[in-house]
Amino acid sequence: MVSPFETDLKWETLLKYGTRQFVKRKTAIYKQETMGEGFYYLHKGLVKIVTSTFKGKDRLVNIVVPGQIMGLQTMDQQPHFTTAIAVKNAVIYHFSCKQFLETLKVQPELLPLLTQTINQKMRILLTAISMKALTSEEQIARLLLNICEDFKNHEVPLTQQELADCAGLTRITVYKILKVWKESGIIEIKNRTFIVKRPDMLQPPHLTACTTHPV
C-alpha cells in the first residue's frame, strides 16, 4: 500500500548525523531477515518496500517517496521484516540506531517525530488490511489515487505486476481492470506508464458503473 498521508515531518534537520549513500535502480537497500544497524532517510528517488509472504509471493507494502524514513524495524535490534528496493536511482542517508538513540537523549523533542513516523507506517499497514474488504476494482482505484497523491502528478511509475503485488491480486486481474478504464478514458497508457486522466472517476461512488466483465 502506498501512503495516503502527507509527509511534513522534519527529518531533514537531522541529515548531518547521517551518512549519504547512492543506490542504483533495482538494488536492495536492506533485505528481509537480515540484521540492520540502522534506518534510512530517502532523499531522492523512489523505493518500494516489499515483504515475502508465506507462499514466497512478494507483497508490496509501501512506496517510499523522498522525505520519508524506512527500515525503522532495526530500532529494536530485530532483523528487518521487509525488503527495500530502489525503483529509481536513489540518494539515501543512513542513521545508526545507537547514535540516533543518543541524540534522542539530548533532544527528547525528536521523539514525536519518531512516533509520528512509526504511526504513519502502521496506518499504511492497517489500510492495506482494510482494503481487502473492497472489490479488486475498488482496491486498485484507491491504490492509483493514493499513488497519484503521493507523486503530486498523475503518473504511476509501477508495472502491472507491482500494482498486483500492492493489492495482493494477480497481474491478470489488474490487466482486466486497467483495460476497462483505458477504454473508458479514465487512464491512459503510454510506453509502460499509466497516467490517470480522470481521478474523479476513480472515486468510490463513480466506480460502481464500471464492470470488469465484458457485456
- SS3 state at 202: helix
Return the CA Rg of the chain.
18
Residues 6+ positions from 27 with CB-CB distance below 8 Å: 85, 86
Of 43 and 47, CB closest to a copy of itself: 47
Instruction: Write down the residue that cell numbers 486497467 correspond to.
Output: 178
Binding span for a copy of itself by CB under 8 A among 132-140, 175-183, 192-200, 207-215: 132-140
Evaluate whether 107 touches 58 at the Cβ level (below 8 Å): no
Evaluate whether 99 touches 33 at the Cβ level (below 8 Å): no
Residue 89 site contact among DNA, a copy of itself, none (CB < 5 to 8 Å, cut-off depends on kind): none
Of 52 and 159, CB closest to DNA: 159
Least separation, in Å, of the C-beta of 118 and DNA? Answer: 30
Choose which of 13, 19, 27, 119 interacts with a copy of itself (CB under 8 A): 119
Per rule CB under 8 A, is residue 211 in the interface with a copy of itself? no
Choose which of 159, 197, 199, 210 interacts with DNA (CB under 7 A): 159
Of 202, 199, 163, nearest in space to 48 by CA: 163
The count of other CB atoms within 10 Å of the CB of residue 215 is 3
Least separation, in Å, of the C-beta of 88 and DNA? Answer: 11
Instruction: Write down the residue that cell numbers 465484458 correspond to.
Output: 214
Per rule CB under 8 A, is residue 104 in the interface with a copy of itself? yes
Find the farthest-apart pair of alpha carbons in the chain and give their distance in angstroms, rounded.
66
Q: Which of residues 18-77 bind a copy of itself (CB under 8 A)?
A: 51, 53-55, 57, 59, 61, 73, 75-76
Choose which of 14, 118, 180, 189 interacts with a copy of itself (CB under 8 A): 118
Backbone phi and psi for residue 139, each to the nearest 5 degrees, phi listed first: -60, -50
Q: Which residues bind a copy of itself (CB under 8 A)?
A: 51, 53-55, 57, 59, 61, 73, 75-76, 78, 81-82, 101, 104-105, 108, 111-112, 115-116, 118-119, 121-123, 125-126, 128-134, 138, 168
